[in-house]
Structure 1
Amino acid sequence: MSIATRWFSTMRHLKACFFFVLLMGNLIMQDASARQLESVPTALGRNGYVEYWEGNMPLVISAPHGGHLIPAEIDDRTSGTTVTDSNTKETALAFREAIFKRTGHHPYVVISNLKRTKLDPNREIIEAAESNIWAEQAWTEYHGFIESAKSEITLSFGSGLYVDLHGHGHSIQRLELGYLLSSNELVLSDDQLNSGNLVESSSIRTLVSSTSFSFSELLRGQNSLGTLFSSSGIPATPSVSQPNPGQGNPFFSGGYS
């Protein structure tokens, strides 16, 4: 599996890797609502192609590539990637419940139920839908639900975190954390990472500017996200044990969302 994150505020979109802070219970949240949330989607797009789960905390989780619906009204896509990210829908909903058990709050969740052969919500609309009107509507609904969740969070909390879940079929079974850094860049030494300009192009640049940890420590040090996962029995890169993906190994560094 791979994870992409985005920190957003009323002023601008800032990418940052705060997901581990949430999972470790260190994110102090306002009590936006004491209401009981439903155990079914809050809203569905046309024909159930997209589902939206309302939340009450400053976190949005999306799963664009885990759907299985193959309606005849939408032609198969003829270009781009069409492989399903297996179990990412199920993982997003499992995260929702696990976070609730730990914090008493639910994140917002947005899921595409269309198989990726029909729609890829994680691409711009031309490549994603290939001009099919029903695929375009589903794409618009998917991103509309995300924007709606972000607007609610901005109103209630001022800022929040957007997490995009993906899968991979790479032979090495591990969690790939894409900070917008390539394998070649992660091979660099800690000193090279800390002294270069890579921090400004990475997705954790905001986190770097707000802590006393160095860039390399946040990427793969003792308190990094990858090391926290690895310490819990989930192999991850970058981390202390796997500081880079390894020469020639495929790696997802982050993408559209």
Structure 2
Amino acid sequence: MALYIRNYQSINPLRKPKILTFTALLFFFTLYILSFDFQINDPSNVPPLIDLNAPDGTSYLTTEPPSYGYKNYSEFIPGSLPLIISISHGGHLFPRDIPDRKKTTPGMVKSNDINTQEIGHQLSKIITKRFNGRKPYMVINHLGRSKIDVNLELRFERGLLIDIHGHGHTENYIELGYALSLETLSIPTDTLNTNEEIVFGSSIRALCARKQNELSFSEILRGESTSLGGKLQILGYDTIPSHVHKYPLPTERYFHGGYSVQRYGSRNNEHVVDAIQLELPRLLRLGNSRLRETFVKDLAKALGWFIQTYYFAE
């Protein structure tokens, strides 16, 4: 061990002032160039013109602090946009006084969706910048999934809940869940558009009802320029459903939307908040942090367009 320490000290560049100075200068120069390039070329730095005041003249910008549940196990971050970001399975707290969930069914999952909290916070920051300081609501579960599995409400006349999860399917698609099964998505487009039971059973029922005289159900669900999946696909991310991948193949796995989307989406007619489950592949959540950062910026663009197009008053 002593020999290892001496050898390390003899080659440690931090012990050589010239090398240390050169390294520091190179680091700050690189940081300046990257920052300048990002400010010039990133279109997310040019936010759209959004009214910051409510009809009664009060400001939409909120300074309210986050609220926490019992022992900070849950967190609610107030917002000022008709967008709710929910993160159910990224918790990092594993208190001993809460027993582990028992595996009562074969398909029961106890593992966390890694990096979904980090992605959610970064997404919120970028969207807030795009909308001149107006930020999404956030609901975060801080308990680990081995302790609890939770699979959220409103100041606006309409709204959108995005429930962020992670999947490990080999196809690496972004999976958008609208509470519609694989079999339902694969039926002919004409039937999809005219079958009211399918529209009413989707988690974006309220949106489709508002836009029924302008867009068909399939256009909102997977249109190239009219759907969230279409926007993500155009940005370079294989997404289901979209105009390219309209539905999963029978051999492909697909999450169509869990409890939160089914319970709190507008498929329950009394609700005016739509809901979409966002299932992210490992490729976008793990490993390459630069790829993840780029994706979150692109997701913010797509979501920013979606809520500005469909959830602000006409």
Find the aligned partners of 1:25 and 1:88 in 2 and give their Cα distance. Answer: 27
C-alpha contact (below 8 Å) 1:221/1:240 kept by paired residues: yes
Say if 1:26 and 1:173 are closer, same or farther in 2 by CA, change over 3 A. farther
Matched residue, 1:248: 251
Find the aligned partners of 1:207 and 1:36 in 2 and give their Cα distance. Answer: 26
Matched residue, 1:194: 193
Find the aligned partners of 2:70 and 2:59 in 1 and give their Cα distance. Answer: 28
Matched residue, 1:215: 217
Matched residue, 1:232: 235
Which residue of 59, 69, 76 corresponds with 1:33?
A: 59
Say if 1:227 and 1:119 are closer, same or farther in 2 by CA, change over 3 A. same
Find the aligned partners of 2:62 and 2:50 in 1 and give their Cα distance. Answer: 21
| 1:71-100 Cα deviation digits (max 9, x unpaired) | 111111003421211211112111210111
**How big is the shift at 1:25?**
6.1
**How big is the shift at 1:213?**
1.3
Which residue of 111, 123, 128 corresponds with 1:83?
A: 111
Normalised by the size of structure 1, how large is the TM-score?
Answer: 0.71
Find the aligned partners of 2:257 and 2:76 in 1 and give their Cα distance. Answer: 24
Q: Does 1:111 align with 2:114?
A: no
**How big is the shift at 1:35?**
5.0
Equivalent residue of 2:86, what SS?
Answer: strand
Gaps of 5+ in 1: 1-23, 123-145
Find the aligned partners of 2:48 and 2:190 in 1 and give their Cα distance. Answer: 31
**How big is the shift at 1:227?**
0.8
Find the aligned partners of 2:202 and 2:218 in 1 and give their Cα distance. Answer: 12
What letter is aligned with 1:201? G
Normalised by the size of structure 2, how large is the TM-score?
Answer: 0.59
More helix by share: 2
**How big is the shift at 1:28?**
7.0
Equivalent residue of 2:117, what SS?
Answer: helix
**How big is the shift at 1:49?**
1.6
| 1:145-189 Cα deviation digits (max 9, x unpaired) | x45xx3xx1xxx344332221111111112111111111111112
Pairing of 1:86-101 with structure 2 (within 5 A): 86-101=114-129
What letter is aligned with 1:62? S
| 1:124-147 Cα deviation digits (max 9, x unpaired) | xxxxxxxxxxxxxxxxxxxxxx45
What letter is aligned with 2:201? S
**How big is the shift at 1:241?**
0.9
Pairing of 1:134-173 with structure 2 (within 5 A): 146-147=152-153, 150=154, 153=155, 157-173=156-172
C-alpha contact (below 8 Å) 1:208/1:218 kept by paired residues: yes
What letter is aligned with 1:244? Y
Q: Does 1:59 align with 2:83?
A: yes
What letter is aligned with 2:207? L
| Identity value in percent | 40
Matched residue, 1:140: none
**How big is the shift at 1:103?**
0.2
C-alpha contact (below 8 Å) 1:37/1:55 kept by paired residues: no
Please tell me the root mean square deviation across aligned C-alpha atoms, in Å.
Answer: 2.4
Equivalent residue of 2:175, what SS?
Answer: strand
Aligned length: 202
C-alpha contact (below 8 Å) 2:53/2:60 kept by paired residues: no
Gaps of 5+ in 2: 1-46, 261-314
Say if 1:121 and 1:26 are closer, same or farther in 2 by CA, change over 3 A. farther
C-alpha contact (below 8 Å) 1:43/1:53 kept by paired residues: yes
Find the aligned partners of 2:207 and 2:157 in 1 and give their Cα distance. Answer: 17
Shift >4 Å, 4+ stretches: 24-32
Find the aligned partners of 1:225 and 1:34 in 2 and give their Cα distance. Answer: 25
